[in-house]
Structure 1
């Protein structure tokens, strides 16, 4: 018996970060999708650094949670989440304005699959039940 089931290699990224720039994106030649930026925390808790990910919100649970948090995000409240990303890719670009004009940069893009928990201004608003 043979299987024609598609097989994939999964590259998963987990972390904790702040949500911003929630938006509905309607491409000219595709279906609309929900987008969000995550400023992921890394490094020492005494001097945390940020890595930014531009994400397509893909998982249904993640879509539901992001939509619930949308007003807090647009009000610039501190929305902190534990997340799972997949399909991380980098796209190079050249800065057009500011101090870095003319310098190369990179956009990190991924799919937001899951949110394990969420806090708004330090108060827990969502916690995924253990399976």
Structure 2
């Protein structure tokens, strides 16, 4: 039996969702991508670290698609996220002040979204939209053994 083993690198945080888009490669199936401007540092003076993400989790894909209109309207879409398979990719700027310079892009797979706030209003929290669970059945008394 051939069993594959993997090492998982997960990154979690809070950040702003941007640039949601469908990518159609020349070979292979189209896939959903987005950018996340992750917050780091002191809350009153936070800095951003940008991640270019392929949206991989099925629930994450549904949730990101629900945010397309808000992002296109330039509303602030804040998410709590978990990324996997983070790696750095280099590129050369094609235009602008940095044309010809080498840049670095942090790439990852967006696996999970735990919270979404749009313009400060919570619109999703993991676990709250789940189907209500049926109440547990009342315990039944044990039958008296007959000898």
Fold equivalence (TM over 0.5):
yes
Greater shift, 11-20 or 85-94, is seen at 85-94
C-alpha displacement of 1:119:
0.2
* Structure 2 partner of 1:60: 58
| Structure showing greater relative contact order (alpha-carbon pairs closer than 8 Å, 6 or more residues apart) | 1
The alignment's C-alpha RMSD in Å is: 1.3
* Structure 2 partner of 1:87: 85
Q: Deviations over 1:29-82 (max 9, x none)?
A: 111000100000111112111111110000001001111111111111000000
Q: Greater Rg, structure 1 or structure 2?
A: 2
2:33 pairs with 1:21: no
C-alpha displacement of 1:100:
2.3
Provide the aligned length of Structure 1 versus Structure 2: 128
* Structure 1 partner of 2:120: 122
* Structure 1 partner of 2:138: none
Structure 2: which 5+ residue stretches go unaligned?
129-147
State how far apart, in whole Å, the 1-side matches of 2:32 and 2:94 are.
Answer: 26
State how far apart, in whole Å, the 2-side matches of 1:94 and 1:70 are.
Answer: 28
C-alpha displacement of 1:15:
0.6
Structure 2-normalised TM-score? Answer: 0.82
Q: Deviations over 1:86-124 (max 9, x none)?
A: 011111122233332333210111000000000000000
Greater shift, 97-106 or 45-54, is seen at 97-106
* Structure 1 partner of 2:74: 76
Structure 1: which 5+ residue stretches go unaligned?
none
2:75 pairs with 1:40: no
SS of match in other structure, 1:46: helix
Structure 1-normalised TM-score? Answer: 0.92
State how far apart, in whole Å, the 2-side matches of 1:36 and 1:18 are.
Answer: 10
